[in-house]
A and B are shown apart, each in its own frame.
Chain A
Amino acid sequence: MTAATPAAPRPSTGPIALAVVRARSWKVPIALSVFALGAVVLFIGFAAKGRTDFRFSQSSDFFRIPDLTVAAGPVAVVLAIVAVVMAAASWAIVVRGRRVHPWFTAVFAAVFMAGFLTWAAAGEQLPFTALLLGAVTLSVPLVFGALGGVIGERAGVVNVAIEGQLLGGAFCSALVASATGSMTLGLVAAAVAGVLVSFILAAFAIKYLVDQVIVGVVINVLVTGLTNFGYTSILSADPEHLNRRMTLPNLPIPLLSDIPIIGPVLFDHTIIVYIAYVAVAAVWFGLFHTRWGLRVRAVGEHPQAADTVGIDVNRTRFWNVSLAGAIAGLGGAFFTLGSVGIFTEQMTAGQGYIALAAVIFGRWDPIRATLAALLFGFATNLQNILGIIGSPVPSEFLLMLPYVVTIFAVAGLVGKSRAPAADGKPYVK
Chain B
Amino acid sequence: MSQAQETAAPQPAAPRPDAGKTGATSRGQEVLREIMGGGVVISVLAVLLAFIVGAVLIAVTDPDVQKVSAYFFARPSDTFQAIWHAVGGAYQSLFQGAIYDTARPDFASGIQPLMNTLSVSTPLIFGGLGIALGFRIGLFNIGGQGQILIGGAVAGWLAWSFPMPFPLGLIVAILGGIAGGAVWAGLVGWLKAQTGAHEVIVTIMLNYIAFYLISFLLRTPGALQAKGSNNPKSPAIPTGAQLPALLGTRYAVTWAFVLAVAAVVVYWWLMNRSSLGFRFRAVGENPNAARTAGIGVDRMYIYGMAIAGGFVGLAGVNQVLATNTGGFSSGFDAGIGFNAITVALLGRSRPLGVLIAGLLFGALQSGGYLMQAANGIPVDIVLIVQSLIVLFIAAPPLVRAIFGLPKPGVAPRRARRALAKEAKA
Given contacts A232-B380, A404-B209, A410-B201, contact A210 B394 (CB under 8 A): yes
Is there an interface contact between B204 and A214, defined as CB atoms closer than 8 Å? no
Is there an interface contact between A218 and B204, defined as CB atoms closer than 8 Å? no
Is there an interface contact between A210 and B1, defined as CB atoms closer than 8 Å? no
Q: Confirm or deny: A394 has a beta carbon within 8 angstroms of a beta carbon on chain B.
A: yes
> How far, in Å, is B233 (CB) from chain A's closest CB?
16
Is there an interface contact between A229 and B381, defined as CB atoms closer than 8 Å? yes
Is there an interface contact between A396 and B213, defined as CB atoms closer than 8 Å? yes
| Complex CA–CA separation, A221 to B377 (angstroms) | 18
| Complex CA–CA separation, A200 to B394 (angstroms) | 13
Identity of the chain A residue whose Cβ is nearest the Cβ of B215 in the assembled complex = A396
Q: Confirm or deny: B403 has a beta carbon within 8 angstroms of a beta carbon on chain A.
A: no
Q: Confirm or deny: A243 has a beta carbon within 8 angstroms of a beta carbon on chain B.
A: no
Interface of B, helix, strand, loop or mixed by DSSP: helix
Given contacts A404-B209, A425-B3, contact A211 B380 (CB under 8 A): no
Is there an interface contact between B398 and A353, defined as CB atoms closer than 8 Å? no
Interface of A, helix, strand, loop or mixed by DSSP: helix
Q: Confirm or deny: A53 has a beta carbon within 8 angstroms of a beta carbon on chain B.
A: no
Which residues from chain B contact A406 at a C-beta distance below 8 Å? 201, 205
| Complex CA–CA separation, A232 to B158 (angstroms) | 41
Selected contact of B202 from candidates A153, A226, A234, A407, CB within 8 Å: A407
Identity of the chain B residue whose Cβ is nearest the Cβ of A400 in the assembled complex = B212
Selected contact of B342 from candidates A200, A215, A221, A396, CB within 8 Å: A221
Is there an interface contact between A214 and B8, defined as CB atoms closer than 8 Å? yes
Is there an interface contact between B341 and A217, defined as CB atoms closer than 8 Å? yes
Q: Confirm or deny: B245 has a beta carbon within 8 angstroms of a beta carbon on chain A.
A: no
Given contacts A211-B7, A397-B216, contact A407 B387 (CB under 8 A): no
> How far, in Å, is B421 (CB) from chain A's closest CB?
14
Is there an interface contact between B10 and A211, defined as CB atoms closer than 8 Å? yes
Q: Confirm or deny: B72 has a beta carbon within 8 angstroms of a beta carbon on chain A.
A: no
Given contacts A213-B140, A400-B212, contact A233 B61 (CB under 8 A): yes
Identity of the chain B residue whose Cβ is nearest the Cβ of A229 in the assembled complex = B380
Q: Confirm or deny: B13 has a beta carbon within 8 angstroms of a beta carbon on chain A.
A: yes
Is there an interface contact between A229 and B378, defined as CB atoms closer than 8 Å? yes
157-207 of chain B: CB within 8 A of chain A: 191, 194-198, 200-202, 204-206
> How far, in Å, is A383 (CB) from chain B's closest CB?
10
Which residues from chain A contact B380 at a C-beta distance below 8 Å? 224-226, 228-229, 232
Is there an interface contact between B212 and A357, defined as CB atoms closer than 8 Å? no
Selected contact of A215 from candidates B195, B215, B381, B394, CB within 8 Å: B394
Identity of the chain A residue whose Cβ is nearest the Cβ of B201 in the assembled complex = A410
Selected contact of A410 from candidates B7, B63, B202, B208, CB within 8 Å: B202
Identity of the chain B residue whose Cβ is nearest the Cβ of A412 in the assembled complex = B195
Is there an interface contact between B390 and A412, defined as CB atoms closer than 8 Å? no
Most buried by A among B142, B209, B381: B209
> How far, in Å, is B75 (CB) from chain A's closest CB?
25
**Chain A: interface residue total (CB-CB under 8 A):** 50
Is there an interface contact between B378 and A410, defined as CB atoms closer than 8 Å? no
> How far, in Å, is B353 (CB) from chain A's closest CB?
15
Q: Confirm or deny: B57 has a beta carbon within 8 angstroms of a beta carbon on chain A.
A: yes
Selected contact of B209 from candidates A356, A357, A360, A403, CB within 8 Å: A403
Which residues from chain A contact B8 at a C-beta distance below 8 Å? 211, 213-214
391-406 of chain A: CB within 8 A of chain B: 394, 396-397, 399-400, 403-404, 406
Chain A 364-397: CB-based contact to B (< 8 A → 1; otherwise 0): 0000000000000000000000000000001011
Which residues from chain A contact B3 at a C-beta distance below 8 Å? 423-425
Q: Confirm or deny: A411 has a beta carbon within 8 angstroms of a beta carbon on chain B.
A: yes
Chain B 1-36: CB-based contact to A (< 8 A → 1; otherwise 0): 111100111100100000000000000000000000
| Complex CA–CA separation, A356 to B205 (angstroms) | 11
Given contacts A204-B391, A209-B13, A211-B7, contact A407 B216 (CB under 8 A): no
| Complex CA–CA separation, A72 to B333 (angstroms) | 41
**Chain B: interface residue total (CB-CB under 8 A):** 53
Selected contact of A158 from candidates B4, B208, B381, CB within 8 Å: B4
Is there an interface contact between A234 and B201, defined as CB atoms closer than 8 Å? no
Chain B 223-235: CB-based contact to A (< 8 A → 1; otherwise 0): 0000000000000
Q: Confirm or deny: B48 has a beta carbon within 8 angstroms of a beta carbon on chain A.
A: no
Q: Confirm or deny: A181 has a beta carbon within 8 angstroms of a beta carbon on chain B.
A: no
292-344 of chain B: CB within 8 A of chain A: 338, 341-342
Identity of the chain A residue whose Cβ is nearest the Cβ of B344 in the assembled complex = A214
Q: Confirm or deny: A103 has a beta carbon within 8 angstroms of a beta carbon on chain B.
A: no
> How far, in Å, is B46 (CB) from chain A's closest CB?
12
| Complex CA–CA separation, A224 to B215 (angstroms) | 24
Q: Confirm or deny: A271 has a beta carbon within 8 angstroms of a beta carbon on chain B.
A: no
Identity of the chain B residue whose Cβ is nearest the Cβ of A221 in the assembled complex = B387
Most buried by B among A209, A210, A397, A425: A210
Is there an interface contact between A410 and B4, defined as CB atoms closer than 8 Å? no
Is there an interface contact between B201 and A424, defined as CB atoms closer than 8 Å? no
Q: Confirm or deny: B395 has a beta carbon within 8 angstroms of a beta carbon on chain A.
A: yes
Is there an interface contact between A208 and B398, defined as CB atoms closer than 8 Å? yes
| Complex CA–CA separation, A226 to B383 (angstroms) | 8
Q: Confirm or deny: B42 has a beta carbon within 8 angstroms of a beta carbon on chain A.
A: no
Is there an interface contact between B206 and A407, defined as CB atoms closer than 8 Å? yes
Q: Confirm or deny: B397 has a beta carbon within 8 angstroms of a beta carbon on chain A.
A: yes
Given contacts A357-B205, A403-B208, contact A411 B195 (CB under 8 A): yes
392-423 of chain B: CB within 8 A of chain A: 394-395, 397-398
Given contacts A353-B204, A396-B215, A400-B208, contact A229 B384 (CB under 8 A): yes
Is there an interface contact between A214 and B345, defined as CB atoms closer than 8 Å? yes
Q: Confirm or deny: A212 has a beta carbon within 8 angstroms of a beta carbon on chain B.
A: yes
Which residues from chain B contact A211 at a C-beta distance below 8 Å? 4, 7-10, 394
| Complex CA–CA separation, A314 to B250 (angstroms) | 57
Q: Confirm or deny: B366 has a beta carbon within 8 angstroms of a beta carbon on chain A.
A: no
> How far, in Å, is A96 (CB) from chain B's closest CB?
24
Selected contact of B387 from candidates A218, A394, A411, A412, CB within 8 Å: A218
Is there an interface contact between B384 and A225, defined as CB atoms closer than 8 Å? yes
> How far, in Å, is B143 (CB) from chain A's closest CB?
11
Q: Confirm or deny: B55 has a beta carbon within 8 angstroms of a beta carbon on chain A.
A: no
> How far, in Å, is A233 (CB) from chain B's closest CB?
4
Q: Could you jot down 29 A-B contacts, CB within 8 Å?
A: A158-B4, A204-B394, A208-B394, A208-B397, A212-B4, A218-B345, A218-B387, A218-B391, A218-B394, A221-B338, A222-B387, A222-B388, A222-B391, A225-B380, A225-B384, A229-B57, A233-B378, A360-B1, A396-B212, A397-B212, A397-B216, A400-B209, A403-B208, A407-B201, A410-B197, A411-B197, A412-B196, A423-B4, A424-B7
Residues of A within 8 A of B (CB): 153, 158, 160, 200, 204, 208-215, 217-219, 221-222, 224-226, 228-229, 232-234, 237, 350, 353, 356-357, 360, 394, 396-397, 399-400, 403-404, 406-407, 410-412, 416, 418-419, 423-425
Known: A211-B10, A213-B200, A218-B394. 9 other contacts (CB 8 A): A209-B13, A210-B10, A218-B342, A225-B381, A229-B384, A360-B201, A397-B212, A403-B205, A407-B205
